[in-house]
Amino acid sequence: MKLPAPETWPTELDARQSLLLVDDDAASVQVLARMLHGLGELRFALSGEDALRLAHESAPDLVLIDAEMPGLSGLEVCAALHADPLLADVPVIIVTGHTEVAAEVAGFAAGAADFIRKPPVAEVVVARVRTQLRLKALGDALRASALTDGLTGLSNRRRFDQDLHTECERARRGGDSLALLLVDVDHFKRYNDHYGHVSGDACLREVGTAIRAAIRRPGDLAARYGGEEFAVLLPQTDAAGARGMAQRVVDAIGALALPHAAAPSGAISVSVGWAAARPDQDPSLMASRGESLVEAADRRLYAAKAAGRGRVGEAEPG
């Protein structure tokens, strides 16, 4: 894995970072909020259950939580966050009046990143929070570097596979549709043979940029799947939406008008396969980690190629 250059490591806190403050005592939440004003977006919860709900709605960059609360305790919330793949990287600071070593050991076992003693001291709270936010930002940068394709700047296959699994789980929980596209550059070996690999790389970069521009929602993901193949993950998208996005990608690549003298059409084109499923209607396609959905899209990709390339696969071949 290529690490980001040290000069790109975060040194200043990002005002867009989100802090979730959790305590069943509203006055204690207000005290922490005053201490942390200006360090990021502050959100509040008065119970462990509310904290988990807010975290699932929008993952925070840091959680500060009281160790002992009615219902779910701070340690139980911390363990639940740590066990959730979507939230496992969120650091948790336990706020506690306990000073025993056993209490700290239990907190670290639950996944806590640090502790703050009660009553909180502003300078200590700010220093510990700043440290955790910087570590979170650096960790995010490292993870992003490991999940990015070096040639196109899109997400890589590893990121696509991770997000596909995550979105399958999310769709199963919420009953939402999930769709994906597989995009293959037509006659790309001929392109490399005719123009050379340097030009081939430049072509893939342009195709990747066009695909990224074609998808408009922040939650959609464009990735280089391997070689001259790309993939697009489309949460909360039904079959009609997937088919429409597939055609948008075909049209976007066609609009580039990149010459391809070794192709019958004389220009770079793509073939696109798509698949969409809902957990209640297509349980087999939502099975395992999303492999069945990929296989369905791959069959439509094959159909697009069999029908002459440069188009969307309209049906899976029988």
Q: Are residues 45 and 161 in the same domain?
A: no
Q: Are residues 116 and 162 in the same domain?
A: no
Residue 228 is among the residues annotated as catalytic for this protein: yes
Q: 42 has which bridge partners?
A: 19
Asked if residue 318 belongs to a domain, the reply is no
List phi, psi (to 5°) of 257: 55, 45
Contact call for residues 245 and 237 (beta carbons, < 8 A): yes
List phi, psi (to 5°) of 106: -65, -40
- CATH code (residue 198): 3.30.70.270
Asked if residue 151 belongs to a domain, the reply is no
As a whole number of angstroms, the distance between CA 80 and CA 89 comes to: 12
Q: Are residues 93 and 133 in the same domain?
A: yes
The count of structural domains within the chain is 2
Asked if residue 112 belongs to a domain, the reply is yes
The predicted model scores a pTM of 0.69
Q: Are residues 138 and 14 in the same domain?
A: yes
Q: Are residues 175 and 131 in the same domain?
A: no
* DSSP strand pairing (270-277 vs 178-185): antiparallel
As a whole number of angstroms, the distance between CA 50 and CA 66 comes to: 13
Q: Would you tell me how many other CB atoms lie within 10 Å of the CB of residue 232? A: 29
- CATH code (residue 51): 3.40.50.2300
- Among candidate residues 146, 178, 202, the one where a domain is terminated: 146
Asked if residue 311 belongs to a domain, the reply is no
Positive/negative CA dihedral, 18, 24, 30, 31: negative
- Among candidate residues 91, 122, 146, the one where a domain is terminated: 146
For 175, the domain range is 157-306
Could you say which of 76, 228, 229, 314 is catalytic? 228
Q: Are residues 114 and 170 in the same domain?
A: no
Would you write out the chain's pLDDT as a tens digit for each of its 318 residues? 444 444 444 445 555 899 999 999 999 999 999 999 999 999 999 999 999 999 999 999 999 999 999 999 999 999 999 999 889 999 999 999 988 899 899 999 999 999 999 999 999 999 999 999 999 999 988 888 899 999 999 999 999 999 999 899 888 888 899 999 999 999 999 999 999 999 999 999 999 999 999 998 989 999 999 999 999 999 999 999 999 999 999 999 999 999 999 999 999 999 999 999 988 887 776 666 788 999 999 999 999 999 999 999 987 544
- Among candidate residues 122, 146, 170, the one where a domain is terminated: 146
List, in order, residues 6 or more apart from 236 with CB less than 8 Å away: 176, 177, 178, 219
As a whole number of angstroms, the distance between CA 42 and CA 21 comes to: 7
Q: Are residues 187 and 280 in the same domain?
A: yes
